[in-house]
Amino acid sequence: MSEDAEWKAPEGSWASSAARRRNMQAIRSRDTKPEKLIRRLVHAQGLRYRVAARPLPGLRRTADLVFRSVKVAVFIDGCYWHGCPEHYVPPKTNSGYWSQKVFRNVERDRDTDKQLEEAGWLVLRFWEHEPSGACADKIAATVLARRAGLRNT
């Protein structure tokens, strides 16, 4: 008997099978390919930043890149997990659970944006499918403009 046939999802479980559970657990929450590429491009432009850091100490949420001195938080959102309007496709199995999870993620993203903006931070969000070079250029331009603004005050 295969491992999948032996494993039975507990009542109310988020996984519909052992294989699905392994697959979902293997998905990275940080250091994804789009994040690493954008970080490399931003770093090549001479900018330094914190990786997977909390912009606000009391906020239990991390940004993918954090520029503390100019209060810029960057998020590179996965199309599936953050409900991309172009690419999100609801799952066929256990759809109620996963659709609700994505909805909660989107709500949390909006709450994160609001809390950071209220604390004086600028939030930049990019989808994983956006061209990395364009994202890196926008990040660099924003950080440099905010630095220049700080120097002029």
From the DSSP assignment, how many helices (H) and strands (E) are in the chain? 5, 4
Question: CA triplet 23, 26, 29: central angle to 5 degrees?
Answer: 130
pLDDT digits (tens, 9 = 90+) for 80-122: 999 999 999 888 888 888 899 999 999 999 999 999 999 999 9
* pTM (predicted TM-score): 0.81
pLDDT digits (tens, 9 = 90+) for 16-68: 566 656 665 556 567 899 999 999 999 999 999 999 999 999 999 999 999 99
Element (H, E) at 72: strand 72-77
Element (H, E) at 3: helix 3-6
Report all structural domains of the chain as residue ranges with CATH numbers, in order of start. 1-27 (no CATH), 31-151 (3.40.960.10)
Query: In the structure, what pLDDT confidence band is assigned to residue 150 with cuts at 50, 70 and 90?
Result: confident
Query: How crowded is the C-beta side of 35, counted as CA atoms within 13 Å?
Result: 18
